[in-house]
């Protein structure tokens, strides 16, 4: 049914559960999957240059870690080269934008229940759902 599925992961222990759900949606065909992880910008708490330099270094380290981890997962799960995406920004709009860019017909994302609507989906999952131009599957991860 689905030809291209974007799998949004947070690189936590729950990543495998989200990926496996997406793989089931793809009838076991990993060639239909793209992985994405969005690194949120680290806000500088102080305006002094010395702190900004340290924040910038931390941001670059976070991006590098995400890229390396995604590449390793992509290789482990047999994804095609170029099917892993590490982005910088606010997760929900970045995920929706990438889904449109690659022509995804579904997004799979993990959800953590907390309170209110967040019990059902999770704040990032809710934000992805609102404004998505394709199906969105949320995988409950606890």
**pLDDT of 37 higher than 90:** yes
Q: Report yes or no: 89 and 97 within 8 Å, Cβ to Cβ.
A: no
- Separation of alpha carbons 121 and 119, rounded Å: 6
| CA atoms in the 13 A half-sphere facing the CB of 1 | 7
| CA atoms in the 13 A half-sphere facing the CB of 97 | 11
CA distances from 91 to 40, 52, 100, 128, 136 (A): 7, 22, 14, 8, 15
- What average pLDDT score do residues 63-83 get? 93
Q: Which fold has domain 5-140?
A: Rossmann fold (3.40.50)
What pLDDT does residue 126 have?
A: 85
- What average pLDDT score do residues 27-46 get? 84
pTM comes to: 0.85
Smallest CA-to-CA distance from 74 within 125, 110, 22 is with 22
8 or 111, which is more confident = 8
How does residue 58 score in pLDDT terms, banded at 50, 70 and 90?
A: confident
**pLDDT of 54 higher than 60:** yes
- What average pLDDT score do residues 116-137 get? 76
- What average pLDDT score do residues 89-103 get? 96
What pLDDT does residue 53 have?
A: 60
1 or 5, which is more confident = 5
């Amino acid at each position: 049914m689905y030809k291209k599925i974007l799998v949004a992961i947070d690189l936590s222990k729950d990543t495998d559960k989200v990926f496996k759900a997406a793989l089931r949606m793809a009838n076991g065909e990993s060639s239909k999957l793209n992985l994405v992880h969005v690194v949120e910008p680290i806000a500088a708490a102080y305006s002094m240059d010395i702190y900004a330099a340290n924040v910038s270094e931390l941001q670059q380290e976070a991006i590098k870690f995400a890229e390396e981890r995604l590449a390793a997962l992509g290789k482990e799960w047999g994804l095609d080269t170029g099917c892993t995406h590490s982005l910088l920004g606010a997760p929900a709009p970045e995920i929706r934008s990438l889904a449109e860019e690659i022509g995804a017909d579904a997004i799979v994302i993990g959800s953590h229940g907390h309170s209110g609507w967040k019990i059902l989906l999770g704040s990032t999952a809710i934000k992805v759902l609102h404004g998505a131009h394709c199906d969105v599957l949320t995988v409950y991860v606890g």
